[in-house]
Chains A and B, each alone.
Chain A
Amino acid sequence: MNRELNTGVFKFILNELKPKGKLITPFNIIALITIMTAAWILFIRFTSGLGSVVDADQSRPWGLWINFNVITGVAFAGGAYVVTFMVYILGLEKYRPIVRATVLYALLAYIFYAGALLLDLGRPWKVVNPIIGNSFGISSVLFLVAWHFILYMGSLFIEFLPAIAEWATLKRQRKFFASLTLAVVIFGIALSTLHQSGLGALFLMAKPKIHPLWYSEFIPVLFFISSIPAGLSLVVVLESIGQRVFKENMSFLHTSSHRKIMFSLARICTISLFVYFTMVFLVFLHGKNLSYLNTPWGYWYLVEVIGFVLIPCTIFLYGYRRLNLQMVRIAASLTIIGIILNRLNISTIAYQWYSKSLHFPTWMEVVVTCAVIFVQLLVFRWIVRRMPVYKESPSWIKEDMENKSFKIKNESINLNTRREKWKVSAE
């Protein structure tokens, strides 16, 4: 029996490892070139030191990898805690089709972006120090952020385990993992609150170096609140792209509920962007920084806050009320740019703003950043083509899923025929 089992597992893995799509596509080629270049760049970085590759110096010690991949990229993984909150805590079944994809994306984002943090460390092999208890720097915000990243990765992984169990046909294990979901989701939401704001708290001690329009003691709160529209906007963009790219892998439920979910997310983004704008305005009033507005930095600040927070907020509202999916997608893209701007402003652009020199990331940094994103997307694609993320779960879990999917099927079919009615009874 055991030998049969082993060969069965072996055959299964071999089968799954075979590529499931065309190997020579433009995307694959660009990704491959980027990744190989990045590998060579990283070789230089590890043999000649950070300075040979990264545009960082003694006055601006953090380069693009930590400023973009970690501080900005992690904000976009915030979709996971919002969506799991809505599905598992509030029980809003309408979002269930996107839960798995969002959790998978966030899991990969944390693994690769927090992993990119390792690239930006001067001595990555010492990273075990704050973990094994050799030296817990408990007063450090980065210590907290690092630990939360690890714990949250574990939580996301456990949340995703039922999908892996379904793929590997492990029935009892799947039931066990599914029973852990609520606890792990709750833990994950508490962790997310803390590390999303923690990324902002990293800069609290850099008060003399960040421009007053961007620095305040409320940076952590703003980071946390902005992670909500950031994460959801990315979900909108990813789902929109995924509908086309992963068409063969999507269940009917997924494709038919797409529009409804997008519009509901648009509504949430409108509200959260408006709340975020209010908080930014409050902080601005509190800081008494009116005199800074009439300077070049002030104009740049207004561009970010009005152009990329207030305007996408109104476009989301417009798109939601007119049921215009294209508008929603535009608003999501603008929000994403706005959050990137905000994070980059605080971490590098408005950092040491009084030094006269302009700083740009080196092409090598950009290539490695892109390579990290490519690898993440490739792994995402590999998993989506094999595991029930967009696909339907296998039929043997029908006892659990029957009740839950029943209602959504009905609602999504209604949407296509009666749009007026849907608007009123949404949610």
Chain B
Amino acid sequence: MESFSRVDIFDTKGIEYLFVIGYLLFLIIFWNVANKHERIIKQIKRVFSNLSAGILRIPQGLFYNRFHTWAHLEESGEARVGLDDFLQHITGEVRLSNLKIPGEMIKKGDLMTQIDKDGKHLKLFSPISGEILMTNQILNDSPEILNEDPYKKGWIYKIKPNNWKSETSSYFMAEEATKWSIKELERFKDFLTGGPMRKYSTEPSMVLLQDGGEIRDKILGDLPDEVWKDFQEEFLNFSK
């Protein structure tokens, strides 16, 4: 207790506080990074509730192809194309981009349009070849039409086809289309549990999906970019 010169028992407090501030910032970054996978899993887990395949709308008179786009030949000889109910149910409300302008020629398998949601996107490829006659302007102002009515008001292009018969010969129609849609739902469930869940979860995927669990509406809409990329490559381009 004898002291004859200056001491300061609190002199390092300043540095300590600065260090603590740095630590807290680091903690925020660390927490976000460490939890990215956790968050994806949580989102997938959270979305399982009831939606039965009966609600999926499948007009019998359209041609559907494996990439979930449809084509329909009008009486006037023009064809309309768009995306099907399955796809819009899964993505939810989106915006279209990379649209073609009237007069352009498009070939089957070319990039038809890109659907965007919150920075995530999916590429859609044209089911037929021909000349673009019109793009649907309504979708610019009211993109929700695409979800409400993907087959009538929500068409994407009017095309003058130059090879209708041979290109659509392998597509699904009528009852075949319905059966195929149901199978696609199953395949999507498998995709979810096999793909993203496997990639991001450490749990065995068996545990997550109970028997009979159906997939919720707009499920892909909430999931992050990585899952959209996986969906594009593994699910949509499956048979490419």
- A: residues with CB less than 8 A from B are 136, 138-139, 183, 187
A138 adjacent to B28 (CB under 8 Å): no
CA distance A138 to B8 in the complex (A): 11
Query: In the bound complex, do residue A138 and residue B13 qualify as a contact, i.e. CB atoms below 8 Å apart?
Result: yes
A334 CA / B86 CA spacing, docked (Å): 63
Find chain A residues with CB under 8 A from B9 CB.
Answer: 139
Supply 11 A–B pairs (Cβ within 8 Å), ascending by A.
Answer: A136-B14, A138-B10, A138-B13, A138-B14, A138-B17, A139-B8, A139-B9, A139-B10, A139-B13, A183-B28, A187-B24
* Complex: chain B residue closest to A140, CB-CB: B10
Residues of B within 8 A of A187 (CB): 24
In the complex, what distance in Å separates the CA atom of A187 from the CA atom of B17? 14
Per-position binary interface string of chain B over residues 1-34, scored 1 when its CB falls under 8 Å from any chain A CB and 0 otherwise: 0000000111001100100000010001000000
With both beta carbons as reference points, the residue of chain A lying nearest to B28 in the complex is identified as A183
Secondary structure class of chain A's binding surface, majority of residues: loop
Query: Which residues in window 154-184 of B have CB below 8 A to A?
Result: none
Q: How many residues of B contact A (CB 8 A)?
A: 8
When distances are taken between beta carbons in the complex, the residues of chain B under 8 Å from A136 are 14
Q: Which residues of B contact A183 (CB under 8 A)?
A: 28
Q: With the chains together, A183 CA to B29 CA distance in Å?
A: 11
Whole-angstrom CA separation of A138 from B28 in the bound complex:
26
Residue numbers in A under 8 Å from B8 (CB-CB): 139
**Complex CA–CA separation, A187 to B27 (angstroms):** 11
What's the Cα separation between A190 and B220 when bound, in Å?
Answer: 38
CA distance A136 to B16 in the complex (A): 13
B 20-54 contacts with A by CB, 8 A: 24, 28
Q: Could you tell me which residues of chain B, from 48 to 76, have a CB within 8 Å of some CB in chain A?
A: none
The complex places the Cα of A183 from the Cα of B14 at a distance, in Å, of 24
- By a CB distance below 8 angstroms, the chain A residues around B24 are 187
The chain B residue with its CB closest to the CB of A190 is: B24
Distance of A183 Cα from B24 Cα, bound (Å): 10
Measured CA separation A423–B213 after assembly (Å): 35
Docked Cα-Cα span, A294 to B28, in Å, equals 54
User: Which residues on A sit within 8 Å (CB–CB) of B13?
Assistant: 138-139
Min C-beta distance of B202 to chain A, whole Å: 23
By beta carbon, the residue of chain A nearest B46 is A403
Docked complex Cα distance between A138 and B17 (Å): 9
Determine how close the nearest CB of chain B comes to the CB of A399; give it in whole angstroms.
Answer: 10
Q: Considering only CB atoms, which chain B residue lies closest to A143 in the complex?
A: B13
Query: Nearest residue in A to B17 (C-beta to C-beta)?
Result: A138
The 8 A-B residue pairs whose C-beta atoms are closest, nearest first, are: A139-B10, A138-B13, A138-B14, A138-B10, A183-B28, A136-B14, A139-B13, A139-B8
Among A136, A138, A187, chain B packs the most CB atoms within 10 A around the CB of A138
Alpha-carbon separation in the docked complex, A138 to B10 (Å) = 7
B10 contacts which chain A residues (CB < 8 A)?
138-139
- With the chains together, A183 CA to B30 CA distance in Å? 13
Contacts A139-B8, A139-B10 known; list 9 others, CB within 8 Å: A136-B14, A138-B10, A138-B13, A138-B14, A138-B17, A139-B9, A139-B13, A183-B28, A187-B24
B149 to chain A, nearest CB (A): 23
Q: Which residue of A lies closest to B32 (CB)?
A: A183
CB distance from A35 to the nearest CB of B (A): 38
Task: Report B93-109 residues with CB < 8 Å from chain A CB.
Answer: none
Residue of B8, B9, B10, B13 contacting most chain A CB atoms (<10 Å): B13
Which of chain A's residues have a CB closer than 8 A to the CB of B17? 138
Collect the chain B residues with CB atoms within 8 Å of residue A138's CB.
10, 13-14, 17
Assembly CA distance A136 to B14 (angstroms): 8
Shortest distance from the beta carbon of A34 to any chain B beta carbon, whole Å: 40
Closest partner residue, chain B, to A183 (CB atom): B28
Select from chain A the residue with minimum beta-carbon distance to B10. Answer: A139
The residues of A that contact B14 with a CB separation of less than 8 Å are 136, 138
A138 to B16, CA, bound (A): 10
Q: Which of B167-220 contact A (CB under 8 A)?
A: none
A136 to B12, CA, bound (A): 12
CA distance A199 to B154 in the complex (A): 65
Closest B residue to A403 by CB, please name it: B46
Which residue on chain B has the smallest CB distance to residue A147?
B17
Interchain CA distance A223-B28 in the complex, whole Å: 30
